[in-house]
Structure 1
Amino acid sequence: MSKPSATYTHGHHESVLRSHTWRTATNSAGYLLDSLESHMHILDVGCGPGTITTDLARYVPQGRAVGIDNSAEVVEKAAALASEGGQNVTFEVGDIHKLNYPDASFDVVHAHQVLQHVTSPVEVLLEMKRLTKPGGIIAVRSVDFAAMTWYPEVEGLREWQQLYLDVARYLRGEPTAGRQLHAWAKRAGLDAEKVKAGADTWCFNTPEERKWWSELWADRMTTSSFAKNAIESKYATKEKLEKIAEAWRVWGAQEDGWFAVLHGQILCRV
Protein backbone atom coordinates (compact mmCIF):
# COMPACT_ATOMS: atom_id res chain seq x y z
CA MET A 1 0.00 0.00 0.00
CA SER A 2 1.54 3.33 -1.04
CA LYS A 3 1.60 6.12 1.52
CA PRO A 4 1.13 9.82 0.87
CA SER A 5 3.13 12.64 2.40
CA ALA A 6 2.10 13.63 5.89
CA THR A 7 -1.45 14.99 5.86
CA TYR A 8 -3.62 16.47 8.57
CA THR A 9 -5.73 13.46 9.54
CA HIS A 10 -8.94 15.34 10.29
CA GLY A 11 -9.03 18.14 7.72
CA HIS A 12 -10.94 21.31 8.52
CA HIS A 13 -14.56 20.23 8.28
CA GLU A 14 -17.03 21.97 10.61
CA SER A 15 -17.12 18.85 12.83
CA VAL A 16 -13.37 19.28 13.37
CA LEU A 17 -13.42 23.03 13.97
CA ARG A 18 -16.28 22.46 16.42
CA SER A 19 -13.72 20.75 18.64
CA HIS A 20 -10.85 23.13 17.89
CA THR A 21 -12.80 26.27 18.73
CA TRP A 22 -13.68 24.79 22.13
CA ARG A 23 -10.02 24.78 23.11
CA THR A 24 -8.67 27.48 25.40
CA ALA A 25 -5.38 28.18 27.13
CA THR A 26 -6.92 26.85 30.34
CA ASN A 27 -8.24 23.52 29.02
CA SER A 28 -5.42 22.88 26.54
CA ALA A 29 -2.27 24.69 27.73
CA GLY A 30 -2.70 24.91 31.48
CA TYR A 31 0.73 23.35 32.06
CA LEU A 32 2.34 26.40 30.40
CA LEU A 33 0.45 29.26 32.04
CA ASP A 34 2.47 29.53 35.26
CA SER A 35 5.64 30.01 33.18
CA LEU A 36 4.32 32.99 31.23
CA GLU A 37 5.39 36.57 31.94
CA SER A 38 3.58 39.66 30.73
CA HIS A 39 6.34 40.80 28.35
CA MET A 40 6.83 37.49 26.49
CA HIS A 41 6.55 36.93 22.76
CA ILE A 42 4.79 33.65 21.94
CA LEU A 43 4.68 31.63 18.73
CA ASP A 44 1.79 29.17 18.47
CA VAL A 45 2.71 26.56 15.86
CA GLY A 46 -0.20 24.86 14.04
CA CYS A 47 -2.63 27.28 15.67
CA GLY A 48 -5.82 26.18 13.86
CA PRO A 49 -8.72 28.62 14.41
CA GLY A 50 -6.69 30.54 16.98
CA THR A 51 -8.68 30.19 20.18
CA ILE A 52 -5.66 29.04 22.20
CA THR A 53 -3.41 31.67 20.60
CA THR A 54 -5.84 34.48 21.33
CA ASP A 55 -6.21 33.26 24.89
CA LEU A 56 -2.44 33.05 25.39
CA ALA A 57 -2.12 36.65 24.18
CA ARG A 58 -4.14 37.77 27.21
CA TYR A 59 -1.41 36.40 29.46
CA VAL A 60 1.27 38.57 27.78
CA PRO A 61 -0.34 42.03 27.57
CA GLN A 62 3.04 43.76 27.12
CA GLY A 63 4.18 41.09 24.66
CA ARG A 64 2.49 39.44 21.69
CA ALA A 65 1.29 36.11 20.36
CA VAL A 66 1.66 34.94 16.76
CA GLY A 67 -0.27 31.98 15.39
CA ILE A 68 1.00 29.99 12.40
CA ASP A 69 -0.96 27.42 10.39
CA ASN A 70 -0.54 25.97 6.90
CA SER A 71 -4.23 26.40 6.05
CA ALA A 72 -5.05 29.86 4.67
CA GLU A 73 -8.75 29.21 5.26
CA VAL A 74 -8.23 28.46 8.95
CA VAL A 75 -5.85 31.40 9.39
CA GLU A 76 -8.56 33.66 7.99
CA LYS A 77 -10.97 32.37 10.64
CA ALA A 78 -8.34 32.91 13.33
CA ALA A 79 -7.71 36.48 12.17
CA ALA A 80 -11.43 37.19 12.38
CA LEU A 81 -11.44 35.92 15.95
CA ALA A 82 -8.40 38.05 16.80
CA SER A 83 -10.13 41.18 15.50
CA GLU A 84 -12.68 40.73 18.29
CA GLY A 85 -9.98 40.45 20.97
CA GLY A 86 -6.80 42.25 21.90
CA GLN A 87 -4.33 44.01 19.63
CA ASN A 88 -1.31 41.85 20.51
CA VAL A 89 -2.20 38.74 18.49
CA THR A 90 -1.65 38.10 14.78
CA PHE A 91 -1.95 35.10 12.47
CA GLU A 92 0.04 34.01 9.44
CA VAL A 93 0.20 31.14 6.97
CA GLY A 94 3.41 29.16 7.27
CA ASP A 95 5.12 25.78 7.02
CA ILE A 96 5.93 24.51 10.51
CA HIS A 97 9.03 22.73 9.18
CA LYS A 98 10.65 25.99 8.04
CA LEU A 99 9.28 29.24 9.37
CA ASN A 100 10.31 32.66 8.11
CA TYR A 101 11.65 34.05 11.38
CA PRO A 102 15.23 34.70 12.52
CA ASP A 103 16.83 32.48 15.13
CA ALA A 104 15.84 33.14 18.75
CA SER A 105 12.78 35.23 17.87
CA PHE A 106 10.40 34.08 20.63
CA ASP A 107 10.35 33.58 24.38
CA VAL A 108 7.85 30.72 24.04
CA VAL A 109 7.20 28.39 21.10
CA HIS A 110 4.05 26.34 21.63
CA ALA A 111 2.40 23.49 19.72
CA HIS A 112 -0.89 21.83 20.62
CA GLN A 113 -1.93 18.59 18.86
CA VAL A 114 0.60 19.15 16.07
CA LEU A 115 3.40 16.60 16.36
CA GLN A 116 1.02 13.65 16.00
CA HIS A 117 0.28 14.77 12.44
CA VAL A 118 3.79 15.32 11.03
CA THR A 119 6.11 12.79 9.44
CA SER A 120 9.21 14.08 11.23
CA PRO A 121 8.34 15.41 14.71
CA VAL A 122 12.01 15.72 15.64
CA GLU A 123 12.55 18.07 12.69
CA VAL A 124 9.65 20.23 13.86
CA LEU A 125 11.11 20.32 17.37
CA LEU A 126 14.46 21.37 15.91
CA GLU A 127 12.73 24.26 14.14
CA MET A 128 10.93 25.20 17.35
CA LYS A 129 14.26 25.11 19.17
CA ARG A 130 15.84 27.37 16.53
CA LEU A 131 13.14 29.99 17.07
CA THR A 132 13.32 29.97 20.87
CA LYS A 133 15.50 32.46 22.73
CA PRO A 134 18.16 31.12 25.10
CA GLY A 135 16.40 30.51 28.39
CA GLY A 136 13.06 30.41 26.60
CA ILE A 137 10.42 27.70 26.61
CA ILE A 138 9.25 25.05 24.16
CA ALA A 139 5.80 23.79 25.15
CA VAL A 140 4.23 20.83 23.37
CA ARG A 141 1.08 18.82 24.03
CA SER A 142 -0.27 15.88 22.03
CA VAL A 143 -2.95 13.27 22.50
CA ASP A 144 -2.35 9.54 22.78
CA PHE A 145 -5.15 7.85 20.86
CA ALA A 146 -4.21 4.35 21.99
CA ALA A 147 -4.56 5.44 25.62
CA MET A 148 -8.08 6.85 25.30
CA THR A 149 -10.59 5.00 27.44
CA TRP A 150 -14.33 5.09 28.04
CA TYR A 151 -17.32 3.56 29.76
CA PRO A 152 -19.48 1.69 29.02
CA GLU A 153 -18.14 -0.52 26.28
CA VAL A 154 -20.22 0.03 23.16
CA GLU A 155 -19.84 -2.22 20.15
CA GLY A 156 -17.97 -0.31 17.46
CA LEU A 157 -15.86 2.06 19.56
CA ARG A 158 -12.86 -0.27 19.80
CA GLU A 159 -13.15 -0.60 16.03
CA TRP A 160 -13.11 3.22 15.82
CA GLN A 161 -9.96 3.42 17.93
CA GLN A 162 -8.06 0.90 15.81
CA LEU A 163 -9.27 2.54 12.61
CA TYR A 164 -7.99 5.90 13.78
CA LEU A 165 -4.57 4.44 14.58
CA ASP A 166 -4.40 2.76 11.16
CA VAL A 167 -5.49 5.82 9.16
CA ALA A 168 -3.21 8.22 11.04
CA ARG A 169 -0.22 5.97 10.38
CA TYR A 170 -1.24 5.55 6.74
CA LEU A 171 -0.96 9.35 6.56
CA ARG A 172 2.50 9.05 8.15
CA GLY A 173 1.53 10.56 11.46
CA GLU A 174 1.94 9.05 14.93
CA PRO A 175 -1.31 8.86 16.91
CA THR A 176 0.47 7.87 20.15
CA ALA A 177 2.61 11.02 20.04
CA GLY A 178 1.74 12.00 23.60
CA ARG A 179 3.81 9.22 25.16
CA GLN A 180 6.82 9.97 22.93
CA LEU A 181 7.19 13.76 23.24
CA HIS A 182 9.92 13.63 25.88
CA ALA A 183 11.93 11.14 23.82
CA TRP A 184 11.58 13.23 20.65
CA ALA A 185 12.73 16.32 22.59
CA LYS A 186 15.93 14.55 23.59
CA ARG A 187 16.50 13.42 20.00
CA ALA A 188 16.16 17.06 18.97
CA GLY A 189 19.10 17.89 21.22
CA LEU A 190 17.20 19.44 24.10
CA ASP A 191 18.85 19.01 27.48
CA ALA A 192 17.15 16.05 29.19
CA GLU A 193 17.52 17.76 32.58
CA LYS A 194 15.53 20.73 31.27
CA VAL A 195 12.70 18.67 29.75
CA LYS A 196 9.76 18.43 32.14
CA ALA A 197 7.38 15.71 30.96
CA GLY A 198 3.84 15.30 32.23
CA ALA A 199 0.30 14.35 31.32
CA ASP A 200 -3.21 15.75 31.49
CA THR A 201 -6.70 14.76 30.40
CA TRP A 202 -9.93 15.94 28.94
CA CYS A 203 -12.91 14.11 30.41
CA PHE A 204 -16.45 14.14 29.02
CA ASN A 205 -19.22 12.76 31.19
CA THR A 206 -22.07 15.24 31.72
CA PRO A 207 -25.09 14.89 29.39
CA GLU A 208 -24.02 18.05 27.54
CA GLU A 209 -20.41 16.91 27.22
CA ARG A 210 -21.40 13.43 26.02
CA LYS A 211 -23.75 14.89 23.42
CA TRP A 212 -21.12 17.32 22.11
CA TRP A 213 -18.24 14.81 22.03
CA SER A 214 -20.22 11.93 20.53
CA GLU A 215 -21.91 14.03 17.85
CA LEU A 216 -18.72 15.65 16.60
CA TRP A 217 -17.07 12.21 16.27
CA ALA A 218 -20.13 10.73 14.61
CA ASP A 219 -20.01 13.57 12.08
CA ARG A 220 -16.28 13.14 11.51
CA MET A 221 -16.84 9.50 10.62
CA THR A 222 -19.00 10.37 7.63
CA THR A 223 -18.32 13.96 6.57
CA SER A 224 -14.74 15.02 7.38
CA SER A 225 -11.43 14.34 5.65
CA PHE A 226 -10.98 11.43 8.04
CA ALA A 227 -13.80 9.59 6.25
CA LYS A 228 -12.20 10.23 2.86
CA ASN A 229 -8.79 9.09 4.09
CA ALA A 230 -10.23 5.98 5.75
CA ILE A 231 -11.88 4.88 2.51
CA GLU A 232 -8.91 5.84 0.33
CA SER A 233 -6.56 3.82 2.55
CA LYS A 234 -8.93 0.82 2.30
CA TYR A 235 -9.12 0.54 6.08
CA ALA A 236 -12.84 1.29 5.95
CA THR A 237 -15.86 1.34 3.71
CA LYS A 238 -18.71 3.84 3.79
CA GLU A 239 -20.83 1.21 5.52
CA LYS A 240 -18.19 0.62 8.21
CA LEU A 241 -17.92 4.36 8.87
CA GLU A 242 -21.68 4.69 9.20
CA LYS A 243 -21.68 1.80 11.68
CA ILE A 244 -18.98 3.50 13.76
CA ALA A 245 -20.85 6.81 13.63
CA GLU A 246 -23.89 5.06 15.05
CA ALA A 247 -21.72 3.53 17.79
CA TRP A 248 -20.75 7.04 18.82
CA ARG A 249 -24.39 8.08 18.99
CA VAL A 250 -25.22 5.03 21.10
CA TRP A 251 -22.38 5.82 23.51
CA GLY A 252 -23.47 9.46 23.72
CA ALA A 253 -26.93 8.37 24.84
CA GLN A 254 -25.61 6.30 27.76
CA GLU A 255 -26.65 7.76 31.11
CA ASP A 256 -23.37 6.63 32.69
CA GLY A 257 -21.19 7.49 29.69
CA TRP A 258 -17.64 8.67 30.49
CA PHE A 259 -14.75 9.33 28.11
CA ALA A 260 -11.15 10.26 28.96
CA VAL A 261 -8.57 11.65 26.54
CA LEU A 262 -4.96 11.36 27.71
CA HIS A 263 -2.38 13.94 26.60
CA GLY A 264 1.38 13.90 26.98
CA GLN A 265 3.02 17.29 27.41
CA ILE A 266 6.50 18.72 27.76
CA LEU A 267 7.98 22.01 28.94
CA CYS A 268 11.56 22.44 27.73
CA ARG A 269 13.95 25.21 28.71
CA VAL A 270 16.32 26.05 25.87
Structure 2
Amino acid sequence: MADNEGVTPPRRATCHYEYMIPTLLDKAQKNPNLTLLDVGCGSGSITIELARLVPGGQVTGLDISGAILESAKVHAERQGISNITFMKGDVHHLPFPDGSFDIVCTHQAVAHFHDHTKAIKELIRVTKKGGAICLREGDLTTGKFSPGYELLDECFQTIIKVHEGQGGTSDAGRGLRRWVQDAGVLEERITATKSLWIYDTPEGRREYGGHWPARCTQGIFAERAVEMDVSRERLEEYAVAWKKWIEDPEASFSMVHGEVIAVV
Protein backbone atom coordinates (compact mmCIF):
# COMPACT_ATOMS: atom_id res chain seq x y z
CA MET A 1 0.00 0.00 0.00
CA ALA A 2 1.38 3.43 -0.95
CA ASP A 3 2.13 6.03 1.70
CA ASN A 4 -0.79 8.25 0.74
CA GLU A 5 -3.31 5.42 0.70
CA GLY A 6 -5.21 5.06 3.96
CA VAL A 7 -7.70 2.61 5.39
CA THR A 8 -10.70 4.11 7.12
CA PRO A 9 -12.37 2.32 10.05
CA PRO A 10 -15.13 -0.19 9.16
CA ARG A 11 -18.44 1.57 8.73
CA ARG A 12 -22.03 0.73 7.99
CA ALA A 13 -23.26 1.51 4.52
CA THR A 14 -24.98 4.89 4.77
CA CYS A 15 -23.45 7.44 2.41
CA HIS A 16 -21.71 6.13 -0.68
CA TYR A 17 -20.18 9.50 -1.56
CA GLU A 18 -18.94 10.37 1.93
CA TYR A 19 -15.28 10.20 0.88
CA MET A 20 -15.71 13.07 -1.59
CA ILE A 21 -17.86 15.44 0.49
CA PRO A 22 -14.92 17.49 1.88
CA THR A 23 -13.58 18.04 -1.65
CA LEU A 24 -17.02 18.95 -2.98
CA LEU A 25 -17.84 21.41 -0.18
CA ASP A 26 -14.41 23.02 -0.36
CA LYS A 27 -14.78 23.70 -4.07
CA ALA A 28 -18.39 24.86 -3.60
CA GLN A 29 -17.24 27.36 -0.97
CA LYS A 30 -14.69 28.78 -3.40
CA ASN A 31 -17.12 28.65 -6.33
CA PRO A 32 -20.83 28.40 -5.41
CA ASN A 33 -21.64 27.98 -9.11
CA LEU A 34 -19.46 24.92 -9.58
CA THR A 35 -20.27 22.29 -12.17
CA LEU A 36 -20.30 18.55 -11.43
CA LEU A 37 -20.64 15.51 -13.69
CA ASP A 38 -21.75 12.14 -12.32
CA VAL A 39 -20.84 9.43 -14.85
CA GLY A 40 -22.81 6.19 -14.77
CA CYS A 41 -25.50 7.85 -12.66
CA GLY A 42 -28.09 5.10 -13.09
CA SER A 43 -31.33 5.93 -11.29
CA GLY A 44 -29.84 9.23 -10.11
CA SER A 45 -30.07 8.66 -6.35
CA ILE A 46 -26.48 9.77 -5.67
CA THR A 47 -26.64 12.49 -8.33
CA ILE A 48 -29.68 14.00 -6.61
CA GLU A 49 -27.98 13.97 -3.21
CA LEU A 50 -24.92 15.70 -4.66
CA ALA A 51 -27.17 18.35 -6.21
CA ARG A 52 -28.66 18.97 -2.75
CA LEU A 53 -25.18 19.64 -1.36
CA VAL A 54 -24.44 22.32 -3.96
CA PRO A 55 -27.75 24.17 -4.50
CA GLY A 56 -25.97 26.98 -6.35
CA GLY A 57 -24.13 24.63 -8.67
CA GLN A 58 -25.15 22.73 -11.76
CA VAL A 59 -25.06 18.94 -11.68
CA THR A 60 -25.20 16.65 -14.71
CA GLY A 61 -25.94 12.93 -14.53
CA LEU A 62 -24.84 10.82 -17.47
CA ASP A 63 -25.62 7.18 -18.22
CA ILE A 64 -25.53 4.94 -21.27
CA SER A 65 -29.08 3.72 -20.56
CA GLY A 66 -31.79 6.08 -21.74
CA ALA A 67 -34.52 4.11 -19.98
CA ILE A 68 -33.04 4.46 -16.50
CA LEU A 69 -32.46 8.18 -17.10
CA GLU A 70 -36.19 8.71 -17.53
CA SER A 71 -36.66 7.25 -14.05
CA ALA A 72 -33.90 9.53 -12.72
CA LYS A 73 -35.61 12.59 -14.16
CA VAL A 74 -38.88 11.65 -12.46
CA HIS A 75 -37.15 11.17 -9.09
CA ALA A 76 -35.47 14.58 -9.35
CA GLU A 77 -38.69 16.34 -10.32
CA ARG A 78 -40.63 14.72 -7.48
CA GLN A 79 -38.01 15.90 -5.00
CA GLY A 80 -37.98 19.42 -6.38
CA ILE A 81 -34.35 19.33 -7.50
CA SER A 82 -33.94 21.94 -10.20
CA ASN A 83 -30.13 22.26 -10.51
CA ILE A 84 -29.74 18.90 -12.22
CA THR A 85 -29.73 17.62 -15.80
CA PHE A 86 -29.70 14.04 -17.04
CA MET A 87 -28.40 12.97 -20.42
CA LYS A 88 -27.40 9.84 -22.31
CA GLY A 89 -23.77 9.28 -23.22
CA ASP A 90 -20.80 6.92 -23.36
CA VAL A 91 -17.92 7.52 -20.94
CA HIS A 92 -15.40 6.55 -23.64
CA HIS A 93 -16.64 9.46 -25.79
CA LEU A 94 -18.03 12.11 -23.44
CA PRO A 95 -20.17 14.73 -25.23
CA PHE A 96 -18.57 17.73 -23.49
CA PRO A 97 -15.81 20.20 -24.37
CA ASP A 98 -12.46 20.08 -22.58
CA GLY A 99 -12.53 21.52 -19.05
CA SER A 100 -16.31 21.60 -18.66
CA PHE A 101 -16.59 20.56 -14.99
CA ASP A 102 -15.08 21.38 -11.61
CA ILE A 103 -15.69 17.85 -10.34
CA VAL A 104 -16.26 14.61 -12.23
CA CYS A 105 -17.25 11.53 -10.25
CA THR A 106 -18.28 7.92 -10.71
CA HIS A 107 -19.72 5.45 -8.21
CA GLN A 108 -19.52 1.72 -8.97
CA ALA A 109 -19.23 2.48 -12.68
CA VAL A 110 -15.53 2.07 -13.53
CA ALA A 111 -15.91 -1.70 -13.13
CA HIS A 112 -18.14 -1.65 -16.21
CA PHE A 113 -15.91 0.51 -18.42
CA HIS A 114 -14.55 -1.53 -21.34
CA ASP A 115 -11.27 0.43 -21.43
CA HIS A 116 -10.48 1.78 -17.97
CA THR A 117 -7.56 3.99 -18.98
CA LYS A 118 -9.31 5.51 -22.01
CA ALA A 119 -12.45 6.20 -19.97
CA ILE A 120 -10.53 7.86 -17.14
CA LYS A 121 -8.63 9.96 -19.69
CA GLU A 122 -12.03 11.21 -20.86
CA LEU A 123 -12.99 12.05 -17.26
CA ILE A 124 -9.77 14.02 -16.97
CA ARG A 125 -10.30 15.76 -20.31
CA VAL A 126 -13.66 17.23 -19.32
CA THR A 127 -12.38 18.33 -15.87
CA LYS A 128 -11.13 21.88 -15.40
CA LYS A 129 -7.48 22.42 -14.53
CA GLY A 130 -7.28 22.29 -10.75
CA GLY A 131 -10.54 20.33 -10.60
CA ALA A 132 -10.92 16.81 -9.27
CA ILE A 133 -12.05 13.40 -10.39
CA CYS A 134 -13.57 11.23 -7.65
CA LEU A 135 -13.91 7.48 -8.14
CA ARG A 136 -15.36 4.80 -5.86
CA GLU A 137 -15.52 1.07 -6.57
CA GLY A 138 -16.15 -2.12 -4.66
CA ASP A 139 -13.81 -5.10 -4.67
CA LEU A 140 -16.19 -8.01 -5.18
CA THR A 141 -13.48 -10.54 -4.39
CA THR A 142 -13.56 -9.39 -0.74
CA GLY A 143 -17.33 -9.86 -0.29
CA LYS A 144 -18.31 -12.08 2.63
CA PHE A 145 -21.62 -12.97 4.24
CA SER A 146 -22.00 -13.68 7.94
CA PRO A 147 -21.51 -17.31 9.04
CA GLY A 148 -24.33 -19.63 8.12
CA TYR A 149 -24.93 -18.25 4.62
CA GLU A 150 -22.65 -20.49 2.58
CA LEU A 151 -25.34 -20.63 -0.13
CA LEU A 152 -25.08 -16.87 -0.58
CA ASP A 153 -21.28 -17.11 -0.71
CA GLU A 154 -21.82 -19.58 -3.57
CA CYS A 155 -24.34 -17.23 -5.19
CA PHE A 156 -21.88 -14.35 -4.90
CA GLN A 157 -19.25 -16.34 -6.78
CA THR A 158 -21.82 -16.79 -9.54
CA ILE A 159 -22.49 -13.05 -9.47
CA ILE A 160 -18.78 -12.42 -9.95
CA LYS A 161 -18.58 -14.86 -12.87
CA VAL A 162 -21.58 -13.27 -14.58
CA HIS A 163 -20.14 -9.81 -13.98
CA GLU A 164 -16.81 -10.80 -15.51
CA GLY A 165 -18.56 -12.60 -18.36
CA GLN A 166 -20.23 -9.33 -19.30
CA GLY A 167 -16.89 -7.53 -19.40
CA GLY A 168 -16.92 -6.24 -15.83
CA THR A 169 -13.93 -6.07 -13.48
CA SER A 170 -14.57 -7.84 -10.19
CA ASP A 171 -11.73 -6.22 -8.22
CA ALA A 172 -12.09 -2.68 -9.61
CA GLY A 173 -11.76 -1.18 -6.13
CA ARG A 174 -8.11 -2.15 -5.96
CA GLY A 175 -7.29 -1.02 -9.51
CA LEU A 176 -8.35 2.62 -9.31
CA ARG A 177 -4.98 4.14 -8.39
CA ARG A 178 -3.19 2.26 -11.18
CA TRP A 179 -5.75 3.21 -13.81
CA VAL A 180 -5.68 6.87 -12.82
CA GLN A 181 -1.89 6.88 -13.02
CA ASP A 182 -2.02 5.11 -16.39
CA ALA A 183 -4.37 7.88 -17.54
CA GLY A 184 -1.64 10.43 -16.82
CA VAL A 185 -2.26 11.78 -13.30
CA LEU A 186 0.91 12.19 -11.24
CA GLU A 187 1.07 10.08 -8.08
CA GLU A 188 1.42 13.11 -5.81
CA ARG A 189 -1.93 14.38 -7.09
CA ILE A 190 -3.74 11.18 -6.09
CA THR A 191 -5.29 10.48 -2.69
CA ALA A 192 -6.39 6.86 -2.38
CA THR A 193 -8.29 5.29 0.50
CA LYS A 194 -9.88 1.95 1.26
CA SER A 195 -12.92 1.36 3.42
CA LEU A 196 -14.64 -1.75 4.73
CA TRP A 197 -18.39 -1.37 4.37
CA ILE A 198 -20.75 -3.47 6.47
CA TYR A 199 -24.41 -4.10 5.66
CA ASP A 200 -25.90 -5.33 8.93
CA THR A 201 -28.99 -3.22 9.53
CA PRO A 202 -32.51 -3.84 8.18
CA GLU A 203 -32.08 -0.84 5.86
CA GLY A 204 -28.62 -1.91 4.76
CA ARG A 205 -29.65 -5.48 4.00
CA ARG A 206 -32.66 -4.28 2.00
CA GLU A 207 -30.51 -1.79 0.12
CA TYR A 208 -27.88 -4.34 -0.83
CA GLY A 209 -29.95 -7.48 -1.22
CA GLY A 210 -33.49 -6.35 -1.90
CA HIS A 211 -33.32 -6.77 -5.66
CA TRP A 212 -31.51 -10.11 -5.66
CA PRO A 213 -34.39 -12.53 -4.99
CA ALA A 214 -36.05 -11.38 -8.21
CA ARG A 215 -32.79 -11.22 -10.18
CA CYS A 216 -32.03 -14.82 -9.21
CA THR A 217 -35.20 -16.08 -10.86
CA GLN A 218 -35.67 -13.82 -13.87
CA GLY A 219 -33.81 -11.37 -16.05
CA ILE A 220 -30.29 -11.16 -17.44
CA PHE A 221 -28.46 -12.46 -14.35
CA ALA A 222 -30.62 -15.58 -14.16
CA GLU A 223 -30.20 -16.21 -17.90
CA ARG A 224 -26.42 -15.86 -17.75
CA ALA A 225 -26.21 -18.08 -14.65
CA VAL A 226 -28.16 -20.83 -16.45
CA GLU A 227 -25.75 -20.53 -19.37
CA MET A 228 -22.99 -21.18 -16.81
CA ASP A 229 -24.72 -24.41 -15.79
CA VAL A 230 -26.41 -23.12 -12.65
CA SER A 231 -29.75 -24.92 -12.47
CA ARG A 232 -33.07 -23.11 -12.16
CA GLU A 233 -33.63 -25.03 -8.93
CA ARG A 234 -30.36 -23.69 -7.52
CA LEU A 235 -31.29 -20.16 -8.52
CA GLU A 236 -34.58 -20.57 -6.63
CA GLU A 237 -32.56 -21.66 -3.59
CA TYR A 238 -30.40 -18.53 -3.96
CA ALA A 239 -33.55 -16.38 -4.01
CA VAL A 240 -34.88 -17.98 -0.83
CA ALA A 241 -31.49 -17.53 0.87
CA TRP A 242 -31.42 -13.83 -0.04
CA LYS A 243 -34.89 -13.35 1.47
CA LYS A 244 -33.85 -15.14 4.66
CA TRP A 245 -30.67 -13.07 4.91
CA ILE A 246 -32.53 -9.78 4.46
CA GLU A 247 -34.92 -10.63 7.30
CA ASP A 248 -32.29 -12.07 9.66
CA PRO A 249 -31.46 -9.46 12.35
CA GLU A 250 -28.08 -11.15 12.93
CA ALA A 251 -27.06 -11.31 9.27
CA SER A 252 -24.43 -9.13 7.63
CA PHE A 253 -22.37 -8.66 4.50
CA SER A 254 -19.05 -6.88 4.23
CA MET A 255 -16.93 -5.72 1.31
CA VAL A 256 -13.87 -3.53 0.81
CA HIS A 257 -14.24 -0.45 -1.38
CA GLY A 258 -11.54 1.65 -2.98
CA GLU A 259 -11.81 5.42 -3.35
CA VAL A 260 -9.60 7.81 -5.29
CA ILE A 261 -9.61 11.59 -5.50
CA ALA A 262 -7.22 12.96 -8.14
CA VAL A 263 -6.48 16.62 -8.79
CA VAL A 264 -6.26 17.33 -12.50
| TM-score, length of structure 1 as denominator length | 0.84
Task: Give the letter aligned to residue 54 of structure 2.
Answer: V
Show the counterpart of 1:90. Answer: 85
1:53 correspondence with 2:47: yes
- Given candidates 24, 27, 32, the residue that maps to 2:20 is 32
Shift of 1:250: 3.3
Task: Give the letter aligned to residue 160 of structure 2.
Answer: L
Show the counterpart of 1:73. Answer: 67
**2:145–2:152 Cα contact (<8 Å) kept:** no
Task: Give the letter aligned to residue 75 of structure 1.
Answer: L
Show the counterpart of 1:257. Answer: 251
CA distance in 1: counterparts of 2:20 and 2:226, whole angstroms: 38
CA distance in 2: counterparts of 1:122 and 1:153, whole angstroms: 40
Shift of 1:129: 0.6
- Given candidates 181, 185, 188, the residue that maps to 1:186 is 181
**1:82–1:90 Cα contact (<8 Å) kept:** no
Show the counterpart of 1:8. Answer: none
Residues 87, 215 of structure 1: alpha-carbon distance in 2 compared, 3 angstrom cutoff: closer
Identity level (%): 36
Task: Give the letter aligned to residue 95 of structure 1.
Answer: D
Task: Give the letter aligned to residue 73 of structure 2.
Answer: A
Q: Alignment length, in residue pairs?
A: 245
Shift of 1:161: 2.0
CA distance in 2: counterparts of 1:247 and 1:86, whole angstroms: 38
Show the counterpart of 2:216. Answer: 221
Q: Deviations 1:103-136 (Å, cap 9, x if unpaired)?
A: 1100001101101112211111011011111100
Structure 2 gaps, min length 5: 1-12
Shift of 1:253: 4.2
Show the counterpart of 1:134. Answer: 129
Residues 68, 214 of structure 1: alpha-carbon distance in 2 compared, 3 angstrom cutoff: closer
**2:99–2:128 Cα contact (<8 Å) kept:** yes
Show the counterpart of 1:247. Answer: 241
Show the counterpart of 1:160. Answer: 155
Aligned with 1:48: secondary structure? coil
Q: Bigger shift: 46-55 or 237-246?
A: 237-246
- Given candidates 205, 209, 233, the residue that maps to 1:210 is 205
Task: Give the letter aligned to residue 116 of structure 1.
Answer: A
Structure 1 gaps, min length 5: 1-23
Shift of 1:78: 0.9
Residues 189, 50 of structure 1: alpha-carbon distance in 2 compared, 3 angstrom cutoff: same
CA-atom RMSD in angstroms: 1.9
| TM-score, length of structure 2 as denominator length | 0.86
